[in-house]
Structure 1
Amino acid sequence: MVITPPITANILLVDDDPGSLMAMETLLAGPGRTIVTAESGQDALRHLLQQDFAVILLDVRMPRLGGVETAALIRGRARSRHTPIIFLSAADTMDADVFRGYSVGAVDYLFKPFIPEILKAKVTVFVDLFQIGDRVRQQSEQLGAINQKLDQDITARKRAEEELSKQTAVLKSVLASIGEGVVVADMAGKFVIWNPAAERIVGLVPAGVPQEQWSEDYSVFLPDQVTPYPADQIPLAKAIRGESVDGDVQFLRRPGIPKGIWLSVTGRPLRDESGIQRGGVVIFSDITERKRAEEEIKKSNTQLEAANKELESFSYSVSHDLRAPLRHMNGFADLLQKHAASALDDKGHRYLQTISESAKHMGRLIDDLLLFSRMGRVELRRTPVNLNEIVSDVLRELRQETEGRRIEWKLGTLPEVRGDPAMLRQVFVNLIANAVKYTRPREEARIEVGTLTHLPSAVSREDVPSPHPAPGDPLLRPLQRVMGEEKVRGDDVVVFVRDNGVGFDMQYAHKLFGVFQRLHSAREFEGTGIGLANVQRIIGRHGGRVWAEGKVNEGAAFFFSLPKLAETGKTRGGD
């Protein structure tokens, strides 16, 4: 039985008088009908581009595009060429106008004021004709589809047989050509498929032995290379039991393979189209070379870790041993200043002051070096960290350095991350202290701390960057370049510290994060050149990245990325 869905007839009412449209819409509305109204010929043509109509009621006299002209345009379109058009006209319409209407395709004329029952009856006739015609069309299409399906079913069996024959040939060819071993067994453990690669890798043809003897017969061992593989845990045996196995590592050693080989095995239950299990299948590959390479890499990594620990220990030892003589130098310089002050001229006092200041600077340098060494050795204590609280704490710590200065602070809301609170605090101490230091030449300093939801520009002088910059906006360039270099993932948290200080030349940006690397002389700005190296080490251990943007005399911005708090245990590149 052919079932056709309910058919809805669209009726288009076109009249520049809203009152007439409302009256006709109220009169003609009913089940299975959709009334569409238009107050001009142009609106009517737009509706006709979007849908088809059972009948169109068209007012003859309309401004700009009259009814006759609209009807001519409607008839000029193939899709609406046969749509019935009923003209609505005033009683004083001339016969010539009526003739013009019929000549452009009108099927009827109604004169205003029209009798509602007549209008309703005429429209109903065309609606019924439309629905009957559409129903016939639908049924014809459905019957045609059924006939086509019957024709297809007649030849389906032959095609299926031919296709099965082709697929069988292709399967045999694929199994013979792939490099991985493929073995299929039925539910009783009888081997159904054992491709050439399986024979080459294992060095044996399938034997008719029970599952309990597979491990012994094929000389399969656990990764310790000594313990025989438990027979019930062999991937093919598990696959036959309905279990899945991924990347199981086995070791094979037989008289023909004295050194043995390593295999990576994946197993799956084998089911038919109905979902009924018919056996199991395993695919395995020889990973002996990969295992050897992994062992070499592991050995190299162990040696590298040992060398790094030695280097860290040496650095710590040297820095620690240098502190004692420096304290002596500084102490004796102070004593000499006190006891021999009257005997020294201005040059002598200046020499003593230089010795004292140099010793203190060296002390700070050693302290920073010790901190740098410690940041590479101390264990990370990962906990949820509120970065807003850290920033507030750092600002309180730097209050003495900022006292008496005009600094405009812009502190955005920072996200919560997972990391080591003490280490992340050191990051903000270094970055914010640098911003305070390098804005000293400014009468009014501006320092901003935020996230890249604001996408700051290091060289922009605008107070607040656009929250939604366009793709070509300069504010996007720092992030676009860094993400293009795959330093930052799209779901990382990116934090920045920006200032309007002295800035730096971008051609030297690569030196910023090196130990003892400075872009400004000690006479201009104090420092040891280790702070930013510490920042890079800390963020790197957290699995993030650090970079900077700047321009001479226009400020600088330092960015760092961290994995989001939700990514617990998935931190890349960290400890």
Structure 2
Amino acid sequence: MMEELPVASILLVDDHPANLVALEAALEPLGQRLVRARSGTEALKRISEEDFAVILLDVQMPELDGYQTARLIKSQERSRHVPLLFLTAIHRDERQMLRGYSQGAVDYLLKPLDPDVLRAKVGVFVDLHQRQEQLRRREARLREQERELLLRQSEANARAILEAMPQAVWASRTDEEEAWCNPAWEKLMGGRVSGAPRASFLEGLHPDERAVVEAGWREALRSGQPWEAQHRMGSEDSWRWYRLRVTPLPCAGHRCRGFLCTATDIDDERRSHLVSQLLSHASVMLSSSLDYHATLTRLAQLVVPRFADWCTVDVLEEDRPGARLTRVAVAHVEGGKAERLLELHRRFPPRQGSPSGVGRVLDSGTPELLLDVPDSLLQRLATDAEHAALLREVGFSSCIHVPMRARERNFGVLTFVIASKRHRYDARDLALAEELGRRAAVAMDNALLYGEAQRAQRAAQEANRLKDEFLATLSHELRTPLTSILGWTQMLLKRDDLDEHGRRRGLAIIERNARVQRQLVEDLLDVSRITSGKLLLNLKEVALREVVEAALESVRPTAEMRGVRLMADLGPLSETVMADPTRLQQVLWNLLTNAIKFTDSGGCVALSAHPRGATVEVVVRDTGKGIPRELLPHVFERFRQGEIGREQGGLGLGLAIVRHLVELHGGSVEVASEGPGLGSTFTVRLPLRPARQEGLPGAEDTVRVPDLAEAKGNLLVSEELVSAVAALLGQAVH
């Protein structure tokens, strides 16, 4: 029959009755005894009267605050080891939390409290207290049995009692006489009980702890007082933690008759406590920062030496060629060997698809446990003798590789290694390592998602800013020519005193501004046609020289008016291309006009065209204002204008239209500039007309351009912009 767990007492300390009622309501489902205290003084009185499993302590209280009360609680032997949980709704900064932890708190909870979280945290300590209390009661019963055994003074009856006990018992009268043990001790030893009493007693202890236990045993015999401690027992295949208690047998004269030792298995409880503590600290650490490099480094330092002699964290950098693993964290129980681990990674880096443990785990996404690594296996795991020598130097006996995996994605590999051959990992350690890997992956995934969200937010803000700038520019560019047109129209209609020269001048201004207005609207319509897939190209065999010369002649008056020299180097250009001559001339006109606009008087704009293999290059160079280096990657994006571009006016659509028209002709366009004041160079590459093949468009073929909103996703003219244009035109007319 399973022994019933004792009811634990939980002390609730708060100066507000409402808070006490809320705490009781949250903790009532635990089924434990809840004790109230309205002040620090009352809490100290309660603690002096009874033992508590856990204390929930409010920080802000009159007279004695939470920190002072905690210090007094920890100063008393009876309550020194009782877990403290601070509760506060005021002190939320890290300094106050550190102050709470320095007073011995195991946790620092902020109000308002989540009842489920509070119940879970308190439940852990209640369960631990109950099991400790259960162990104390069990040990008390065992001690009572020991006393009864000694009182009876009957060896036969004593043996019968000891053999029936579930605890392992070992007894010896003197060092020279034969020892005795019960069946539970024989089971613990795996059936091997032999040799002298001292040897058979120490045989079941972990080699690293035999000297300590022997010293405690001799001290108990010397002083006549029981000695108790926790140590590992079992065999090399399976070490478990036991609570050892050595009790001297009644003395005969001045000489002890011997001693009796009991061993209680506490391995599961001890491991559960350590695992819970480690996972709790790891979770707090991983969630404390979005810098996953720093948190993974602290995680490696946390598990050494609690869980491993050394630990490494390798992160998969998918944006690098070959998907290389980068070692972002290293920790070793011996500080000097951390550098050797970094050298190991540098000289023998693991990769995806490699035969190393890290490579296999990264490919398969499943953990790998090496219980014991003999020298022969180490040679096979290493790539060469030098690699094996480095592994031996840093220590390599038992190893766990676990993937950091979240949302079906591998982020890297955690490696835990035990260097000593006296201990090795088991299946329970593997489960803990997997959980650490999962939590590390979630933390890393959250950090990456947050970074992506920030970048997306910045991109959206930039797009919104560009839209606002475009609307402001559009308003100005549309309103300016309309104002001139309306002004001169009214003047021509209302004034009869204008002579012929005045009327011609007014009509010329109206015509010039109307052309500017038409060009702005045409640019908007072109962008709309491109993005909606409604732009039609009338492809035919075109002599490139004719198109270039026509574009040069169309911009020559503008160049002369601005005092800019216009030069052309066409050489023996006789090649033909499959193109829409109107659209191709629009490309060249935009580039030339753009160059002239940004070139000061006395400057030069040069156009050259030469064949290059299967393509022909048309280059437009100017000695104008140049382009800042940071703006170069964005020159062909819609509405992108530098400070100089805004000064010169325009909507920022011309170069975007150029790029799309060139790409629709199967070509490419690029820009180069050494910087502001150093001019710029635009290079258009177009494919020469190929030999006619069946199924390809030939002369006089009309091609409908596909929807480029899917192909490029860049030049989008929204309904909002079209509505804005219509509204501005309407305001200007009225």
TM-score, normalising length: structure 1? 0.30
TM-score, normalising length: structure 2? 0.24
